[in-house]
Amino acid sequence: MIRPLPSHRLLDRALRVLFPATLLLLLNGCTSVSYYSQLASGQWHLLRSREPVSEVIADPARDAKLRAHLVQSQKAREFASQRLHLPDNKSYRLYADIGRPYVVWNVFATPEFSLKPQNHCFPVAGCVAYRGYYSQSAARGDAALQRRQGMDVSISGVEAYSTLGWFNDPIISSMMSWGDERLATLIFHELAHQRFYVKDDTEFNESFATFVEQEGTRQWRAARGLPPASQAQEQQRDQFTRLILDTRTRLEKLYALPLAAEQMRQRKAAEFERLRSDYRTLRDSQWAGEKRYDAWINAPMNNAKLLPFGLYDQWVPAFSVVFKQSSGDWLKFYTAVEKLGALPVEQRKAALKALVD
């Protein structure tokens, strides 16, 4: 096992040799040299920025708020391995200051009249429904090019991601504006990706990690003697997600119709206005005017903007059923998830759907 300093210097020396070879492997794919170059460079700089959390905490010259936040993060990190049976390695026991609000910006794209994402395939992660950039300007440039080609495009800043255990992922400075609990939930989510990952199935992977995040957070609160999180907020999140997924369903039916392009655009716009109207009705009638999603709902809308909801939430209820069937035993749950993940993709989706029907 690679340990923190001085062994991080050994890791750096090894990566100086490995990264060119890794880049050559990646270039065998269909994406451009420049895109893979920025991926390799961005990951390389992130790895070089890492330092042991224990050293940051012990350094009185470092920001006191940062040190206190990291102390709490390590309690959640221990809980993740000891109680949730997530990987016990150096991930999230390291810290990296990257000096920007997001570590990457993901670009989502769909055709104008389709909710099928434009997938991008990689040797390790398989095919995913977005392209990641370490530079916001590069993400915007890609988005602009795709818009010119008639695609619906959305850019989303990401505070953290998992390398699926290939490297020891750090807590990143982009995560430090959150409260202690939100940081804990992200650690649970990203370690879940290390625990199990199915190549080429973003919906499965993200829904699985989201369930681990949510159930793990409930148990984390209980272990500290805290009451359950506000049910009102959870209910609002679930209701909002349902509005989005219902809109996706209506759009899928619309796009299957044999309509002229202009008529399709008009009906597409009407569906987005219906989403906004349904949201405002829900907000005002059941949420006492709570405006937590107003900025998102009032911003420009397109197919690509809806993609993350289907990707991150679609099978969460199914995984909840699997957890209950496993009697709340995490190891039994992971075994059941692995069996689902081993199924051919269509059988896997059918099995997940059957769990919630």
DSSP 3-state of 157: strand
351 located within any domain: no
262 located within any domain: no
Per-residue pLDDT of the chain (357 residues), as tens digits, is 333 333 443 333 333 333 433 443 344 444 577 888 898 899 999 999 999 999 999 999 999 999 999 999 999 999 999 999 999 999 999 999 999 999 999 999 999 999 999 888 876 667 888 899 999 999 999 999 999 999 999 999 998 888 888 899 999 999 988 899 999 999 999 999 999 999 889 889 999 999 999 999 999 999 999 988 777 888 898 899 899 989 999 999 999 999 999 999 999 999 999 999 999 999 999 999 999 999 999 999 999 999 888 667 789 999 999 999 999 999 999 999 999 999 999 999 999 999 998
Number of folded domains that form the chain:
1
Q: Facing residues of 132 across strands?
A: 106
275 located within any domain: no
DSSP 3-state of 132: strand
188 located within any domain: yes
The model's pLDDT over 139-186, given as tens digits with 9 standing for 90+, comes to 999 999 999 999 999 999 998 888 888 899 999 999 988 899 999 999
The model's pLDDT over 303-330, given as tens digits with 9 standing for 90+, comes to 999 988 866 778 999 999 999 999 999 9
Name the residue among 121, 129, 124 with its Cα closest to residue 311. Answer: 129
Domain that holds residue 19: 7-103+159-223
Name the E strands within the chain: 50-52, 94-96, 104-110, 120-122, 126-128, 131-133, 152-158, 171-172
d(CA 208, CA 319): 6
174 located within any domain: yes
244 located within any domain: no
d(CA 102, CA 92): 17
99 located within any domain: yes
Question: Is this structure's pTM higher than 0.95?
Answer: no
38 located within any domain: yes
Q: Amino acid letter at 190?
A: E
